Structure 1
Amino acid sequence: MGIFNSKDKQLEPPPPPFLDEPWRKIRWGDNQAVLQYVQNYKLANENIKLLRVLLYGPVGAGKSSFINTVGDIMQRRMTNSAAASAITSDKSFTKQYRTHRIQIGKGADKTFYPVVFNDIMGVEDGKDCGVCPEDIKLAMEGHVKEGYVFNPVAPLSKKDYNPHPAPDDKVQVLVCVLSANAAEIKDSVLQKMSCVRQTADDLEIPQIAIMTNIDTACPETEKDLKNVYRSRHLQKKMKKISSAVGIPLNCMFPVMNYSHQIDMDDDVDTLILSALKNMINFGDDFVEKI
């Protein structure tokens, strides 16, 4: 009897790849309305002209690619404002602290969106590897000067320290970027990320998470991006990441970055714009309280 039950259990079919209903509602094809919302955005606090979003996360998660994808969508063409590596590596491609602005128009009519992004060196496994958590803390407080070259073995030097940050130098939204197809995050990386999150909590900076590479992590989503919230695999992955990094599921957004494409894709845009709108809303609530 015991053998029969064991064999019978082994023959149980795996759960279907799709959930009966999407676990999150999203308006596919409503991009123009969200795009207009972002384009018309103005900060609630007149003393702050820029909503600064800081991206951090493990090496290769897609931080620079996310910035490029936002730029592509806002400018309605392929761009390359933040240099991103096309080579898989366990070492960070980003070395400097740079502010990435999104351009509107050209020539004499050129202006910029009030939302800016800062990309930093990736969080790596090991004591003297990747960005120092202390540097991320100083960046959130506005103490890191533009162009600072990250040093994995030593925190910010005196010459790169901004002692009197203006309101626009400070971070209003902290975004953790993680890859859906990456291996399990190592404990040392989680510990560094936990220190960063604690600092953001102390500063009351809103935090969200972006989960990239949902196409390569899930065959059903690769076939049709609209399956993202019906994918049992991605739902499970997001819950696991939420538990590991301590960011609530309703503050996590799955996206696909532009990488090999040469033309725009409405479904890619929908997910990115959904994340971007929530970043703006979270940041605006924070700015209004300052």
Structure 2
Amino acid sequence: MGGTQSTHEQPPLLSTPWRTINWKDYQTPLQYVESYKLPSEGKQIRILLHGPVGAGKSSFINSVQSVLHGRIYVQALSDTGFKYSFTEKYTAYKIQKGDQKSFYPFVFNDIMGLSPVNGVLVDDVKLALMGHVKEGYKFNIESKLSDADPHFIKSPTDNDKVHILVCVINADNLTLMHQATLQQIREIRGKASELGIPQVVILTKIDKAYPELKENLRNVYKVASLKNQMEQFSADVGIPMNCMFPVKNYSEEIELNSDTDSLILSVLRNIINFGGDCVNFHTNPSGHLD
């Protein structure tokens, strides 16, 4: 991977998609997410997004909120022109339900982007995984969070800990990723695995990487070169293909699109399922629900 030139000259389409999505029905997965509940009262799924600078972590959070609110929604600030991470603080995003009186049982945490030079330290990501980082902490690229810092949570609760780790990658730069960044992703994945935290990969900006998807997003699982690159990244970091999802974030649009929604809901449904399994396991290690 890192350093290989990207080749996206009209890759051939497969005759049949290698993964299926019911494009005609995005309401069913939407309803699934809207009605999702954890068995244990007061518990929440903490979703930590990490990945290279500019991959689209904040945009994915905004896109999820847009789908769930039924309109374009911008809460997590992002900047497409930034060469360095626009996110500098550890920020949590809860999503209100339509009645405005309750929240979905999951929370997204946005974190400073990975970079070989000016990115978040891997040690800080590991601390976040364990629940030691308090919301509002401003990351220091020179030194990791100290246990003497007021933003260090010394005795994290289950709700402070991360239940699913989501690696967000820009599909347009997938083959150009720096080897040092790839190694950071492997190291973070290793810590998550050690802690029993499931992991998912999201490939963003697929419409920019593959021109045929800009014309028809429903071809996403027919693009042969996209599948090949996903398989290569899967081999590089050790995350299986059934935990990898290509998406298109809302970035230019002012209206929602059902095909874009379908891809976002596909990954969101799996994220909350995997994260919910993690919450339930730590709540009831014996495997028996209360």
Contact 2:10 2:210 in 1 (8 A): no
Partner of 2:3: none
SS in 2 for 1:66: helix
Q: 1:236: how far off?
A: 1.7
- Determine which of 105, 115, 129 is the counterpart of 2:98: 105
Report which of the two structures shows the higher radius of gyration computed on alpha carbons. Answer: 1
SS class of match (1:235):
helix
Aligned counterparts, 1:95-244, within 5 A: 95-105=88-98, 109-126=100-117, 129-157=118-146, 158-159=148-149, 160-182=151-173, 183-244=175-236
Aligned to 2:72: 78
Q: Which amino acid aligns with 2:139?
A: F
8 Å CA contact 1:57, 1:123 repeated in 2 = yes
Query: Under a length normalisation based on structure 1, what TM-score does the superposition of the two structures give?
Result: 0.90
Cα distance in 2 between the residues matched to 1:44 and 1:224 = 39
Aligned-residue Cα RMSD (Å) equals: 1.5
The CA deviation at 1:79 is 1.1
Superposed structure 1 runs of 4+ greater than 4 Å apart? none
Residue ranges of structure 1 left out of the alignment (5+ in a row): 1-13
Query: Which deviations, in whole Å up to 9, do the C-alpha atoms of 1:75-126 show, x marking residues without a partner?
Result: 0011111101131x331110000100111236xx432111110010001013
Alpha-carbon deviation of 1:203?
0.3
Partner of 2:46: 52
Once the two structures are aligned, what percentage of the paired residues are identical? Answer: 48
Are the aligned partners of 1:44 and 1:287 in contact in 2 as well (CA < 8 Å)?
no
TM-score between the two structures when normalised by the length of structure 2: 0.90
Q: 1:244, CA displacement in angstroms? A: 2.2
Q: Secondary structure of 1:177's match?
A: strand
Instruction: Name 1:37's counterpart in structure 2.
Output: 32
Question: How many residues get paired?
Answer: 271
What are the equivalent positions in structure 2 for 1:248-267 lying under 5 Å apart? 248-267=240-259
Partner of 2:286: none
Contact 1:218 1:233 in 2 (8 A): no
Which segments of 5 or more consecutive residues in structure 2 lack a partner in the other structure?
1-8, 283-290
Per-residue Cα deviation, 1:172-208 (whole angstroms, up to 9, x for no partner): 0000000110152111111111111111011010001
